[in-house]
Amino acid sequence: MISMPVIDREKCNGCGLCVSVCHCKVLVLVDNIVTLIEMKKCLSCNRWCTLCEEVCPTGAISWPLEILIEEP
**Beta strand segments in the chain, E:** 6-7, 27-30, 33-36, 61-62
CA distances from 47 to 7, 43, 69, 70 (A): 18, 5, 23, 24
The least distance separating ligand SF4 from the CB of residue 64, rounded to whole angstroms, comes to 13
- Whose Cβ is closer to ligand SF4: residue 58's or residue 70's? 58
Name the residue nearer to ligand SF4 (CB basis): 21 or 68.
Answer: 21
Instruction: Return the number of the residue (2 or 24) whose C-beta is nearest ligand SF4.
Output: 24
Applying CB under 6 A, which residues contact ligand SF4? Answer: 5, 12-18, 21-22, 24, 26-27, 34, 42, 45-46, 48-52, 55-56, 58, 60-61
CA distance 69 to 16: 37
